[in-house]
Amino acid sequence: MIGKSVPRVDAYDKVTGRARFTDDMILNHCLVAKVYHATIGNGRVISIDTSEAEALDGVVKIVTFKDVPTHPYPTPGHPWSVETAHQDVSDRNLLTGRIRYYGDDIAAVVAEDEVTASRALRLIKVEYEEYPVQIHPRESMKGSNPPIHQEKKDNILAHSDYEIGDVDQGMKDAAVVVKASYKTPIIQHCHIENNISYAYMENGRIVVVSSTQIPHIVRRVIGQALGIPWGKVRVIKPYIGGGFGNKQDVLYEPLNAFLTMAVGGRAVKLELTREETFVNTRTRHSIEYDLAAGVDEDGHLIAKDMHAYSNQGAYASHGHAIVANGLTAWRLQYGCPNVRAEGYTIYTNTPVGGAMRAYGIPQANFAMECFMDDVAYAIHMDPLEFRKKNLIKGFYQDAYLKPIAAHSNGIFECLKKGAEFIHWEEKRKEYANQTGNIRRGVGMSLFSYKTGVWPISLEIAGARMSLNQDGSVQLQVGATEIGQGADTVFSQMAAETLHMELENIHITSVQDTDVTPFDTGAYASRQSFVTGTAVKECAQLLKEKILAYAKTLLPEAVGTLELDHGYILENGEKVLSLEQLALECYYSLTNSSVITAEVSRQVKKNTLATGCGFAEVEVDMALGKVKVLNIINVHDSGKLLNPQLASMQVQGGMSMGMGYGLSEQLLLDEKTGRPLNATLLDYKMMTMMDTPDLTAGFVEMDDPEGPYGNKALGEPPAIPPAPAIRNAVLHATGVAFNENPLTPQRLIEAFQRAGLIPVVG
């Protein structure tokens, strides 16, 4: 089964509408909750009057920041550890009177229906004391009075740095030193299904049904937020309509759990609007970078320096881990003896930054790969040749975190395939020295990406299998299907190891923390690698147990027993069907023993996936419009478990990366921090009309660390398109854009400054 493009196991139910998402499971007579959000960007509540709202017919309960537990709790979906150093920052409350961003949560209404809840919100009266709003990290880190969080007087959540070799001396020894600054925007995940949960109480316990990537982590955080034993909480994750990292944070589930307690255990639904999802969930961090590099006479990198400033927003969420991931990427892939990096994560009065597909690498990679082109231009070298000259061939490992290593490294093969597709050499020459309003160019970028979070954080996954009466196998995992095809791949893994047909593997797509094996969830491109390790070991254990039971039914057998396509083989000959064996193990009067296997595995390994992107663009300079003519991603993700699913992952990620490069940005009012385009009408995602054919290429190299030779693929596709497009625009026009997205306004202003188009008016 491994390596075959089998249909998705959830395809039929999803395309026919039979798959049940959270909203499809809402209980009858469910109450509706709505959150009252602040209408200032920084300050505190002086008074709040809920009397008129409480008098409204149909209102069941109103709670304010004065009614909730006072102890703070963490929200990110990180693996938790008993070691304090690996625990996240606790700086959030269920509701707050200290407003830190426009839209902060002050109160919640529970009503009999949505209309009543919405009407009640409009009757709540709040008075504020306002403070100055700061939305820029470099300004915010100078401090504010009062600070955004009292315990961080300078508004700096965290800071880290490292140095390998002697960067200052390397810069002095360099033939050429290049410096540049880059900035990436705040963007939103824009998953189809808004954040939604409903909660109720059963037998003295809280049950929360939620669209989440991390059900076991949600359970823990609800317990922490409410100050109750974690065993008093049960979390159920149905089918999920996308997450991309936004649902790798514990968002409103703790508040919903508190609300059901407040109304005596009745079911309460808390569903966000699209506007709330934009503002009140999580965003991708805006990060600013100052980069410098020194190269010798032959174009070899001999020193690199990075300073990064991450706009965290109002609360810690995933915090410093995002920019720190970029600091790690700075020292990977390119060979350089002297490397330095320093990063700051800074609180501001903006929507909260959290996890988003590729976890800080799209930001860092945009800066790094734009910079590599800029260095190549400065020394008059072809950007592809410059990269080839400086890339590390074969095995390499991180200088600090040794388990992070490229155990297989297909980057040069990826570059060859991408360059041939885009006709790099011919078009670099063809598009040189253009004139006129319409110009074309080709650009490229590359990346490396970790598989999972070891050794930075705990990696643990579980799998359970049981033999059914008909000889089929039931599979349960705590890892979550969020649209990426994980359930299909896990089923293929089980079928491969058990030598069974795929239709005889029945996977449970709904996770329930009461019954599913423990797993930290869907993030970090970890599931096929980490959970896949547990699935493989579990299948091997089940196979051993089946063969051991077969020996009790075949005492005369003298040869080796094997399991193959529903039969027990002795020396290659069928001697017993698996269905017969299963019936015996369930119902034998003398030898009944249901065959099950369960594995919980801490995975202490990691491996780097690599790849590249190439783009050809056409630039209309007068209109400030970039049209992508051709684009390709080429990935070394080890062995492809399901080639069709792999291509779908890459194409989806490429579309996200193109939007990041060309159009997506969440705009904020400078004075208030209020989001200005928090709707799908005003927030500009890629459409069918903007998107060319997306080509996914692969270089398959079995990775020795992967359970089936596989490594990361889920997140990397979103990384290379944005810098590849920017570098293609640089080739076409000679103008370097150091901030994305490349919007018409940004392009026109730059072309006017460069004297390429006239200034009008």
Other CB atoms within 10 A of residue 594 CB: 12
Sign of CA dihedral 365, 368, 369, 371: positive
Question: What pLDDT, on the 0 to 100 scale, is given for residue 566?
Answer: 95
Question: What pLDDT, on the 0 to 100 scale, is given for residue 719?
Answer: 98
- Residue 340 has phi, psi (to 5 degrees) of -135, 145
Domain 364-452+607-753 of CATH type 3.90.1010.10: no
Beta bridge partners of 129: 44
Low-confidence ranges of the chain (pLDDT < 70): none
The H-assigned helical ranges of 355-423 are 361-378, 383-390, 411-422
∠424-430-436 over CA atoms, to 5°?
Answer: 130
Instruction: List CB contacts of 761: < 8 A, sequence separation 6 or more.
Output: none
Q: Measured between alpha carbons, how far is 159 from 151 in angstroms, rounded to an integer? A: 15
- Residue 315 has phi, psi (to 5 degrees) of -135, 160
Q: Which one, of 323, 105, 282, 101, lies nearest residue 191 by Cα?
A: 282
Q: What is the DSSP letter of 11?
A: H
Q: Is 438 exposed, middle or buried (0-12, 13-18, 19+ CB in 10 A)?
A: middle
Strand (E) or helix (H) holding 117: helix 114-123
The dihedral region occupied by 169, where left means phi > 0, alpha psi between -120 and 50, and beta the remainder, is alpha
∠654-700-533 over CA atoms, to 5°?
Answer: 90
Question: What pLDDT, on the 0 to 100 scale, is given for residue 606?
Answer: 97
- Residue 680 has phi, psi (to 5 degrees) of -75, -10
Question: What pLDDT, on the 0 to 100 scale, is given for residue 760?
Answer: 81
The segment(s) of the chain belonging to CATH 3.30.365.10 are 364-452+607-753, 460-602
Q: Measured between alpha carbons, how far is 347 from 544 in angstroms, rounded to an integer? A: 54
Question: What pLDDT, on the 0 to 100 scale, is given for residue 331?
Answer: 97
Q: Is 286:326 a contact under the CB 8 Å cutoff?
A: no
Domain 460-602 of CATH type 1.10.10.10: no
Q: Which one, of 362, 329, 332, lies nearest residue 343 by Cα?
A: 329
In the sheet that holds 473-477, the strands lie side by side as 505-507, 473-477, 460-467, 596-602
Contacts 24+ apart (CB under 8 A), 160-164: 160/320, 160/324, 160/327, 160/342, 160/343, 161/327, 161/340, 161/341, 161/342, 161/343, 162/327, 162/331, 162/340, 162/341, 162/400, 163/339, 163/340, 164/331, 164/337, 164/338, 164/339, 164/340, 164/399
DSSP string, 290-327: EEEEEE-TTS-EEEEEEEEEEEEESS-TTTTHHHHHHH
Question: What pLDDT, on the 0 to 100 scale, is given for residue 86?
Answer: 87
Question: What pLDDT, on the 0 to 100 scale, is given for residue 437?
Answer: 95
Q: Measured between alpha carbons, how far is 557 from 737 in angstroms, rounded to an integer? A: 73
Q: Is 107:63 a contact under the CB 8 Å cutoff?
A: yes
Q: Is 402 exposed, middle or buried (0-12, 13-18, 19+ CB in 10 A)?
A: exposed
